[in-house]
Amino acid sequence: MGAAVLTPYLAGAGLLALAGVEKLRRPHYTQDALRALGLRSGNAVVRAIGCIEVTVATAAVLSVLSGVGAAPAAAAVALLYAAFAVAVARLVRSGTPVRSCGCLGAAETPPSHAHALVNVACAGAAALYVVDPTTLRAASGGDPLAYAIALAAAGIALYLVTALIKWLPAAWKVTKLEPAEPDESLEGGIASV
C-alpha cells in the first residue's frame, strides 16, 4: 500500500512546503483567516506555523528518500492536514468572508470546499503512508527511470492540486447561472426588429 500512496503523499508534502513558505513570505493572509476563526495571532505565530510546515514537509521528503523516520514524519503530515481541514471547513461553514487562507500566497484564494477536500485527501494519504512507509527506491525497484517518473508524477500532482485550490472556486463562481435581468431594449421581442 505504501507504494500506492507514495505519489499523493509526496505531492501533499510538497504542498505543505509551499504553504509554509508562503506563510513565511506573506503572513497577513493567514492572520486574516485565523482572526475569522476567532484566533488572535501576529506575524510571529503565522511564521512559526510556516516553519513547522516547511520542517515537517522536509522531514517527509527526506524520509521517503532514506526510509529513516518515515512513520513519524507521515504522522506529523497527517495531523497538520487534519487540523487544516478542520480550520478550512470551519471558515467555509461560517460564511465569514476571507480573501485568502494564506496557503498559496495569493490574494484571491479564499477557503473553499475544494480546499477542505484536498486537506482531507492529503491527511488520508499521509495516514495510509504511516501504516506502510515505503522508500522511493523500494517503490521504484531501484530503476532510475521509475524513480524519475515517480518524482515527476508527484510534481504533476502537486501542480494539479494547487490549481484545484486556486482556480476551481473562482471558476465555479463564474459558471453559476444567475437569473438574467430583463433587457428593456428587447421588449416587443423579435417581431419589433
pLDDT digits (tens, 9 = 90+) for 130-165: 999 988 888 888 888 887 888 888 888 888 888 777
Q: Which range is most confident: 19-33, 92-106, 168-182?
A: 19-33
Residue 22 to residue 109: CA distance in whole angstroms: 13
Please identify which residue in the block is written with the cell numbers 480546499: 115
Task: Give this prediction's pTM.
Answer: 0.82
In our burial notation (b when 16+ CB lie closer than 10 A, e otherwise), range 46-71 reads: bbebbeebbebbebbbebbeeeeebe
Beta bridge partners of 130: none
